Structure 1
Amino acid sequence: MKNHIDYNKLCPIIQGQVNSSNNNILPVIISYKSDKKIKEGKISSLSNKLNYNLPIVNGCACDMCIQSIIEITEDPDVEFISYDSKVFAVMDVARSVVGADLITNTKYTGKNITVAIIDTGISPHADLVYPTNRIVGFKDFVNKETRAYDDNGHGTHCAGILAGNGYSSKGKYKGIAPEANILSVKVLDESGNGNTSDILSTVQWIIENREVYKTRIINFSLGAIAQYRERRDPLVKAANRAIDNNFIVVAAVGNSGPMRNTILSPATSRYVISVGALDDGRTVETNDDSIAEFSSRG
């Protein structure tokens, strides 16, 4: 009998791996509900390597194949399984790898440029609001709130990579454009899900209000399975319409690799700047870099 997959218990990276029809072994963090005990015996029987316990999240870290991850999602005591990522926490390395340090001492810091981030919202993190609040706008298409918030974390994560100024770390962990302004548009719910129609309305709203926030760039760290030819795909059409209105549009290719033809819409548009994931080996040198296995391919 085929296992039932509870996607609500899986982070987006693992969701992409589950959908890629392989059985890769992934480093994961398994968290149990706060009132439940960690089932170390069960995890040990399914895991290739139990790394250590993490009582702070009532869970543990281990290496586990996709099939075992799917099996353990059926346990009602398991709250969430996330990818044990080593990439995003070290912006001092990532900045150098992508060449951002080359422009650190130039005028190109994103100042006076507003980037619309279509995502799960944004939390007013110190790296975005001190010494000056650079969250210039917040629009909530999900819960209609007026205050800036993020009930998932993904949108804030993306905003930090893009425009965090390193205030909390005294400049060590800066984003790529540390003086850019952010227009946060919440269109994904607390589980990171949303409808294509909502995103289409969002893009239309951004275009119509471009002068209010001085928006120049739209960032899609989201996507949908490309089910249409490019010219018929609704998300691609929306992205292309924004480009026709002189926006720069950037979109994530998705986490459904390493199979071919797995790039998500609207990153499939020939006019969008499509971005995949890099494994930088946690070093500044590029000779050990490679495309992350989970990154979608064309």
Structure 2
Amino acid sequence: MHSWLPNRRVLTMLSAVLLVAWSVTTGIVFGEEANVPDRTWLYAQPKIHYPDAIEESFASGRTPVRVIVHLEAPSTMKTPDLKTVSRRKQTRRAIRAIREPVVQRIESDDVTVNREFNYIPAMAVSVSAQGLEQLVDDGDIATIEPDRILTAHTTQGIALMQASALGDAYAGEGVAIAICDTGIDYIHSRLGGDSFPNAKVIGGYDFGDDDSDPMDTNGHGTHCAGIAAGDASSSGDYAGGVAPGVKLYALKITTGFTGGAYASDMVAAWEWCVSHQYDDPDNPILVISTSFGVGGYSGNCDAVSSVLTESAADVANAGISIFASSGNDGYCGKIASPACISHVISVGAVFDDNIGGYGFCVEEESCASNKQAYTACSTGYISWAYTTAADRVAPYSNVSESLDLFAPSHMATTTDIGDDFVDDFGGTSRPAPMPPVWRP
């Protein structure tokens, strides 16, 4: 992510007057540290979707601001046929032909292209206030949406899922699952134990840092990878993943050690899965698991982010299923995005046993039982689970009528970075990697 600040300079009285006059005519107003769009202008632009989120980014001083630009394109490109490799190549060529002239025209000190997509006529860019105005005025740009930041939704539950017998007959051989997360510690003895790629983690990429090494320095992705497909063992508390025969792809969407990811990097990872689905023909990518999300939405949320919705449709069209965690806010009628998007299978959390009484931070509007004000929670509220039991929905799990599945959560033992293990992994991050791999 690039940093940017306007050059400081001493203004004469005349130049200051001219600057103010120019800002009024263009709709741009300068603050002390960074320029911000005029609020009236911003909300009056039909091309700009969710101007409140873009305004918040400018107001926070995180300039330049990251947005996703959708280009004018034939309607057929919104749902391209991606069933064969040759058609995928045709789609990439067609979108590149639309995108390249726009990129050549808009790139400047005020507009930087961060990410170009292969199967969607769109791209992620960073803009100053002047750059945002430039994009609005460009006739080949259809819409502009914020590049939202998605956050991680932080005994294995195998018995509750009745997966043991199935696992004895089918351990997942011939399938690869892409862990779209903070990366994977592929040096871990249960996750290949060798340099990248290896026998378990057979490929991947780091989209957060834009390099070829998806090593996990956060831990979250390694936790999820261990839940899905870590190698089994007859000793220790970690019994292995739900499907230890599955191969893994490590797709890191976070930057450095952080646990947050831009939506554009998630889309880039999803598209990578389509392009690289058959890199190993014996282990094609059939599943994407992502335990990241943002917000809470009742029912279908396809309109919230066009780029995520279109990409999810492309992935499904290619024969790949996306499983996403529902979120940890304790909402009783809403789930997070992208879990709420069409073509994404949403996964909520249930306990797999009586783990004793625990308190879980929830949002104020949660209808979780035994909720009370609690200053130690960043949300300001906690829900006390005085009694827990197998199959009981965890208080923090977002649920709604559109939720697709539940899977076991909380107090899971799984792999950790540094060839270590954790015994308290929970949240809806834990169940998301489970359903995709235990079903043949």
1:166-245 to structure 2, matched below 5 A, reads 166-167=232-233, 169=235, 173-189=239-255, 190-213=257-280, 214-225=284-295, 230-232=301-303, 233=305, 234-245=307-318
Aligned pair 1:252/2:325, yes or no? Answer: yes
Task: Give 4+ residue runs of structure 1 displaced > 6 Å after superposition.
Answer: none
Which residue type is aligned with residue 217 of structure 1? V
Q: Would the alpha carbon gap of residues 201 and 148 (structure 1) be closer, same or farther in structure 2, given more than 3 Å must change?
A: closer
CA RMSD of aligned residues (A): 2.7
Q: Following TM superposition, by how much is the alpha carbon of 1:262 offset from its aligned partner in structure 2, in angstroms?
A: 3.1
- Superposed CA offset, 1:175-195 (max 9, x none): 111110000100023221011
* Structure 1 unpaired stretches of 5+: 1-87
The equivalent of 1:262 in structure 2 is 334
The equivalent of 2:350 in structure 1 is 278
Q: Following TM superposition, by how much is the alpha carbon of 1:111 offset from its aligned partner in structure 2, in angstroms?
A: 0.8
Q: Distance in 1 between matches of 2:222 and 2:308?
A: 22
The equivalent of 1:135 in structure 2 is 201
* Structure 2 unpaired stretches of 5+: 1-153, 356-387, 401-440
SS of the residue corresponding to residue 169 of structure 1 reads coil
Q: Distance in 2 between matches of 1:224 and 1:251?
A: 11
Q: Would the alpha carbon gap of residues 290 and 226 (structure 1) be closer, same or farther in structure 2, given more than 3 Å must change?
A: closer
SS of the residue corresponding to residue 102 of structure 1 reads helix
Q: Name the one with the larger helix percent.
A: 1
The answer (yes or no) to whether the contact 2:353–2:389 under 8 Å persists in 1 is no
Q: Distance in 2 between matches of 1:130 and 1:101?
A: 25
SS of the residue corresponding to residue 218 of structure 1 reads strand
TM-score using structure 1 length: 0.62
Which residue type is aligned with residue 244 of structure 2? P
Q: Distance in 2 between matches of 1:105 and 1:166?
A: 12
- Identical aligned residues as a percent: 30
Which residue type is aligned with residue 127 of structure 1? R
The equivalent of 1:99 in structure 2 is 162
1:149-164 to structure 2, matched below 5 A, reads 149-164=215-230
The answer (yes or no) to whether the contact 2:230–2:241 under 8 Å persists in 1 is yes
Q: Would the alpha carbon gap of residues 266 and 210 (structure 1) be closer, same or farther in structure 2, given more than 3 Å must change?
A: same
Q: Distance in 1 between matches of 2:321 and 2:334?
A: 23
Q: How many residues align?
A: 204
TM-score using structure 2 length: 0.43
Q: Distance in 2 between matches of 1:226 and 1:244?
A: 26
SS of the residue corresponding to residue 190 of structure 2 reads helix
Q: Distance in 1 between matches of 2:254 and 2:208?
A: 7
Q: Would the alpha carbon gap of residues 112 and 263 (structure 1) be closer, same or farther in structure 2, given more than 3 Å must change?
A: same
Q: Following TM superposition, by how much is the alpha carbon of 1:226 offset from its aligned partner in structure 2, in angstroms?
A: 5.2
The equivalent of 1:83 in structure 2 is none
Q: Distance in 1 between matches of 2:160 and 2:320?
A: 26
The answer (yes or no) to whether the contact 2:350–2:390 under 8 Å persists in 1 is no
Q: Distance in 2 between matches of 1:129 and 1:288?
A: 32
Q: Distance in 2 between matches of 1:280 and 1:211?
A: 35
The answer (yes or no) to whether the contact 1:130–1:167 under 8 Å persists in 2 is no
Question: Which of 399, 411, 414 is 1:297 aligned to?
Answer: 399
- Superposed CA offset, 1:143-188 (max 9, x none): 2343441111000000000001224836951211111000010002
- In terms of Rg, which structure is larger? 2
